[in-house]
Amino acid sequence: MTPLRIAIVDDHAMFRTGVKAEIDGRVDVVGEADDVESAVAMIAQTSPDVVLLDVHMPGGGGLEVIRRLHVRHPDTKFLALSVSDAAEDVIGIIRAGARGYVTKNISGPELFDAIERVAGGDAVFSPRLAGFVLDAFAGTIEIAQVDEDLDRLTEREREVMRLIARGYAYKEVAKELFISIKTVETHVSSVLRKLQLSSRHELTRWANDRRLI
């Protein structure tokens, strides 16, 4: 049986290497990319069966990749693989055309199973995220609302904000996002300043109010 042809799109080289190590030998990794422009070019050239796609990247993120390729390459399936499990990210990427959404703490065997299922036409979600999809299409979550405060934050600041709001230590955030502790501290200071908050406790309450964690 011919192995599935997979592309990995993520702006962290270490993470892409880790994913390849987990699924090596069971799939054929035909390409990698670290931003929107290179992802679009690579996918158009290689036509993979499934694209493992990060939600937040330079140049517009996974949404922009799908928007530019979904119609032209209908046979390519997109599986979001992200550190974020926020409702707005899950629903946004699914509405754009992704066939599934799993978080980056997924195991190697689970990821391979998700790839196979998406390639076969199934929809795949990490357990907690399936509820967001059901709630959104039932009308109990309004995803399209633009939050003026949230809109002030960069994509990286949003990632850091969600992890800090969940109680992660700076060291844990750094490890999760493949950045330095000093960079985490800089992002946290920027987030608190932009949102006019004074503490992590206030940030957690702010994020909870918007169902971002």
43: helix, strand or coil: helix
CA dist 96 → 23, 25, 68, 78 (Å): 26, 30, 10, 10
* pTM of the model as a whole: 0.66
Q: What is the pLDDT along the chain (213 residues), one digit of tens a residue?
A: 789 999 999 999 999 999 999 998 899 999 999 999 999 999 999 999 999 999 888 777 888 899 889 878 889 999 999 888 777 788 788 888 899 999 888 899 999 999 999 999 998 988 777 766 666 655 544 544 435 667 678 878 888 998 998 899 999 999 988 999 999 999 999 999 988 889 988 898 888 776 676
User: Length of the chain, please?
Assistant: 213
In whole angstroms, give the CA distance from residue 62 to residue 208.
24
Q: Return the structure tokens found at 43.
A: 């996918």
